[in-house]
Amino acid sequence: MKNQPFILPLCGLVLGILLAEYLPNYQLNQALSFFFVFFYVFLLGYFIYRRRYTLVFFVLFIRIGFFLAETQNRFTPIPSIFQETENWIQLEIEEVYKPSEKYRKYKAKIISIDSIKIAQTNLLLYWKREFPMIHPSDQVWVNAKIQPSPKALNPHQFDYSQYLKRQKIRYVSFVLDPNFHLQEGNSFWHFTSSYKRNIHQKLQESSYSKNSADIIGAMILGDRTEMDDEVQETYRKTGVVHILSVSGLHIMIVYTMFYVLLYPLIYLKNGRIIRILASLILIWSYVLLVGFQPPILRSALMITVFHGSYTLQRKPNIYHTLAVTALVLLCINTNFLFDIGFQLSYSAVFFIVYLHPVYQKLFRPKTKTSRYTIGFVGTSISAQLGTFPIAAYYFHQTSGLFLAGNLVMILASNLMIAGGMISILLIELNLIFPLWIIVFNEFIELCNQYMDWLSGFDFLIFERIHFEFWEVILLLLMIVLLKFILTQPKFKPIILLISILFIFQIQRHIRIHELNAKKEIIVFHQYKNSVIGVRNGKEMDVYVQNISDTVNLQKYLLKSYSIKENIKEIRFFEMHEPQLSFYGKSHNLIVFKERKFLVMNENYRHITSDVDFILIQSNSKLLMDSISNQTEFMLDGSNYPNHLGQTNKEFWRTHEMGAKIIRLQ
């Protein structure tokens, strides 16, 4: 650890953050609390006594990480009297998020509710697209409801409330009333946000195509809010979606441009240091413009630490630099640890550096061209290997087209960024060169066409991939061992790799066997709809009240569930349709594994006493006389939330408790 003094403090900080995350409500009795405090102090004192100062810092940073995570995520709820009812709310806009089809979305700080000051609390503001555009530091008074952020109500559904919690957002509010008051802000963040919007508008008014304006906005200004989803999906399929957002690659390209342009400064006294300092000032000014996203901060910090070491005449160490930047970022915001961009960024850089000696040893390039080629290909493969387990865990897909995509698009991105910066400069100087605009538009169109053509090789796009969390850890360990096996083949690393691979495969085989044996009836939650799934291992029949909504159901409700539960075939039927398969279904009754599931709606009111489960749809009335006390009742999203709230019977309400899963085996 002598050469990596920040590794153990970083590990301690991460451990402290994880403890604060997963033990936030862990209640200990007084004796047990005293024991843990005593054990912590004893451990700290023991390491000090033994002069194990690296372990002292490790233990100290566990506490620091725990304290920072608790402090930064401290939350004061809004009084219940202000929730679920319309009030006049004063808000200050903090961040602009990617819009949906009907709404623009903003992170907003609540200043007051009905003129009553509120402790600093944030909400996600849904702002109708036809309303005027707003920017950070703008203040707005709206008449709207404040609601808790929606939690995931269906199995394996993306937990949006947890994502918002990481952004320190606990509430949402939809602004439907056009009678609002808007006060424009005058902060730096207001300027940068409005500047990006104005540049995008000016580009299109000057005959730049929408795709060109979107690319400039995304790759240079860090604004993807107006980019077409289809374009993003094409880049994602080919494994080069990182091109479309300002990341470490873009920061490095922009820094290199600044560094080259400032070359004449080296002729001044102390010119080399002045050149580095000027380049760093410019790159941090650029970071301020595009925003403080984890990959951007990571790259800017690494450049700063690297050149700081050079200026101080110390040999730069990339692992040391990675540890320092991660430590700084996590101290600034502990929630960065759970940010996908943070995880992918650090994993990619680590494995690029870590696996670099493998390619040098295996291929031993002699010429400058071969060194560049092997370096580029090796970097792409290393980054893909390092990010594959994490990306597959979150997005359930990977692309075999990444090498062909990166080979062209990383080179093209240099021209895109340089050309985009020239375009912005020309717009700011009110200079219009039709030939330049035509050439730039054609270049962007050519790049997009190449991506479209490449994404047509569907057989190289691997979807429906699912890993459990600890399977991701095992995969990363196998990649780490790969270096030792390829550079210095020894018996122990080979045996260890084979053992990990064996454990990985056995565990997956057991999990898939368990999934294939599942037999379930599932009542999903879908707003103003009724969705019932009858599952037998790999196949599932889905009965839908509104059959025209199957495309959205497949995309938003069932896709993640089918991937994580290893379901290969889904068939859709109308709710009243009879079926005879691995179960039996009449008009309103499902019989599966000798359990009876009744669907009660306005078309069917007769109930027999031997029914195990009853699903009430569409606010139907319930006659309790002939129903067994053992029968379980459910109310799904087709009902009003308060339907049958006046009865003493217990109901499983999907809008509160989530989907009801009835396991039959």
Contacts of 73-81 with C-beta under 8 Å, sequence gap 24+, read 73/20, 73/165, 73/168, 73/334, 73/335, 75/121, 75/170, 76/119, 76/120, 76/121, 77/121, 77/170, 78/110, 78/113, 78/118, 78/121, 78/146, 78/171
Please give the pLDDT value at position 31. Answer: 53
- Label residue 312 by pLDDT band (50, 70, 90): low
Give yes or no for residue 403 having a pLDDT over 90. no
Cβ partners under 8 Å of residue 641, min gap 6:
653, 655, 656
- Label residue 50 by pLDDT band (50, 70, 90): confident
Choose the weakest-confidence range: 111-115, 307-311, 447-451, 526-530.
Answer: 307-311
**Mean pLDDT on 127-137:** 92
Give yes or no for residue 286 having a pLDDT over 80. yes
- At which residue do the structure tokens 């990481």 appear? 166
Please give the pLDDT value at position 607. Answer: 61
User: Is CATH 2.170.15 what the domain over 81-186 is classified as, yes or no?
Assistant: no
Please give the pLDDT value at position 368. Answer: 77
Distance CA 373, CA 513 (A): 44
Please give the pLDDT value at position 506. Answer: 93
Give yes or no for residue 105 having a pLDDT over 90. yes
pLDDT single digits (tens) 245-261: 888 788 888 888 888 88
424 and 216 in contact (C-beta within 8 Å)? yes
Please give the pLDDT value at position 240. Answer: 86
Mean pLDDT is highest, among 21-25, 101-105, 396-400, 474-478, for: 474-478
HSE toward the beta carbon, residue 115, CA cutoff 13 A: 0
Strand pairing class (116-128; 171-175): parallel
Give yes or no for residue 307 having a pLDDT over 80. no
> Which pTM was predicted?
0.88
- Label residue 127 by pLDDT band (50, 70, 90): very high
Nearest to 472 by CA among 344, 334, 320, 321: 344
Choose the weakest-confidence range: 32-41, 517-526, 610-619.
Answer: 32-41
289 and 304 in contact (C-beta within 8 Å)? no
- Label residue 2 by pLDDT band (50, 70, 90): low
Give yes or no for residue 52 having a pLDDT over 80. no
- The more confident residue out of 161 and 646 is 161
Nearest to 608 by CA among 623, 618, 592, 587: 623
Please give the pLDDT value at position 366. Answer: 75
Please give the pLDDT value at position 502. Answer: 94
Give yes or no for residue 310 having a pLDDT over 70. no
Average of per-residue pLDDT values in the chain:
87
Please give the pLDDT value at position 41. Answer: 74
- Label residue 24 by pLDDT band (50, 70, 90): low
Give yes or no for residue 180 having a pLDDT over 80. yes
Give yes or no for residue 208 having a pLDDT over 70. yes
Q: How far is CA 344 from CA 388, 392, 443, 471, 643, in A?
A: 9, 11, 29, 16, 46
Please give the pLDDT value at position 435. Answer: 94
Residue 630 in tokens? 């053992």
Choose the weakest-confidence range: 127-141, 293-307, 330-344, 593-607.
Answer: 593-607
The full set of domain ranges for the chain reads: 7-72, 81-186, 519-663
Q: What percent of the chain has pLDDT over 90?
A: 40
Please give the pLDDT value at position 20. Answer: 86
Give yes or no for residue 542 having a pLDDT over 90. yes
